[in-house]
Amino acid sequence: MMVEEKDKNQNGQELLDVDEKGQTIPKKEEKKPAAKGSETFTHVLLIFLACVLLGLYLKIFVFYKNVEKTKEYHKYKTADDMFRNIGETIIRFVKQKPKARIGLASGSTPEGLYKYLINKYEKGEVSFRNVEFFSIDGFCGLEKSDKNSYHYALTNSFLSKIDAQEENIHLLKEEGKTLEDFKKNAEEYNELLAKKPIDLQLLSFGENGHIGFNEPNTDFDLLTHVVELTEEKRKDKSKIFGSMDKTPKYAITQGVQSVLNAKEVIAFAKGSGKAKAVNDLVNGVFTKNSPITALINHNGKVTVCTDEEAGKSVKQYNKKF
């Protein structure tokens, strides 16, 4: 409490009120009149600021939820348009996350995409130096140097033509002699993927919707595993091996569940043969007959891209599903 000058004697001592009995009466504190208007204003301002912050938080929360869990379809006039767009998405992804873990797609479809990325790398527009690479499938019992191995195909068509570092390349092991060797390779891959989950899985698929070596009606809960190839599949593959004898009996593949474990998936297709599989997928027709439709249950971001032909049964050019 401030002592005013009028309450002090000549010596500057504080003057206290005394009652009739000589007792000192405690000085009453002077209450300043409350500035009611300004208090109300402060309260309103605080409530307003709280609302703005809450709104901002909700907006950011909803935005990230949507980014994390979106399923989009994009149809492009040509396969080249599609590869350019997917390629640019991958480049942005790698620039944002230089140590990204990327799962590579196999088959002939991704060749155009790999060419696009190699070209961008050669122009100095992107580096894959710190990116870790994974694969989705392979044959069992083939050496890395075997021209029919998936290891050879991915290395030759892409990895050896960019600045991918040997220690960052984790392709499925196709080597081995016995079924036990092959199963061990699959187990090791599951252990690796548990430690190093894939950030972005690139995915091509067959006309019947197969992904990797997961044919229609396989168990969608499987992780990486060994598949016994059917006579029909072996006959088909014998065209590249020269004879049935030389054609592997087993293949190794990430399971459908492994693909669902990747944080983000970009699936792509070209050519009218894939139109039915594409149509089921982007129209939400989940079926065990078409493993690619498992993506409908993916918990993260899924982007499906096609050229005009593969997307001919889908009315829209862009849609969420």
Enzyme catalytic residues: 137, 208, 210, 215
**Residue 309: CB minimum distance to ligand GLP, A:** 13
The rounded distance, in Å, linking the Cα atoms of 320 and 242 is 44
The rounded distance, in Å, linking the Cα atoms of 66 and 319 is 14
Is 305 within 8 Å of 85 (Cβ atoms)? yes
The rounded distance, in Å, linking the Cα atoms of 235 and 90 is 36
* Region binding ligand GLP by CB under 6 A among candidate stretches 13-21, 48-56, 69-77, 205-213: 205-213
**Residue 271: CB minimum distance to ligand GLP, A:** 8
Give Cα 215 distance to the centre of its chain: 24
**Residue 157: CB minimum distance to ligand GLP, A:** 12
Task: Count CA atoms within 13 Å of residue 278 on its CB side.
Answer: 31
* Region binding ligand GLP by CB under 6 A among candidate stretches 34-42, 187-195, 208-216, 220-228: 208-216
* Region binding ligand GLP by CB under 6 A among candidate stretches 2-10, 60-68, 153-161, 200-208: 200-208
Residues 109-128 that bind ligand GLP (CB under 6 A): 109
Q: Which is nearer to ligand GLP, 126 or 298 (CB)?
A: 298
Considering the rule CB under 6 A, would residue 204 count as an interface residue with ligand GLP?
yes
Which structure tokens are listed for 97? Answer: 């996350």
**Residue 306: CB minimum distance to ligand GLP, A:** 12
Q: Which is nearer to ligand GLP, 126 or 267 (CB)?
A: 267
Nearest by Cα to 204 from 117, 283, 311, 111: 111
Is 100 within 8 Å of 93 (Cβ atoms)? yes
DSSP code for 231: H
Helix (H) or strand (E) holding 134: strand 132-135
Three-class secondary structure of residue 190 per DSSP: helix
Residue type, 83: F
**CB 112: neighbour CB atoms within 10 A?**
19
Binding track over 91-110 against ligand GLP, x by CB under 6 A: ---------------xxxx-
| Closest residue to ligand GLP in the complex (CB) | 107
Considering the rule CB under 6 A, would residue 230 count as an interface residue with ligand GLP?
no
Q: Which is nearer to ligand GLP, 109 or 290 (CB)?
A: 109
**Residue 207: CB minimum distance to ligand GLP, A:** 7
- Chain residues binding ligand GLP by CB under 6 A are 106-109, 136-137, 204-206, 211-213
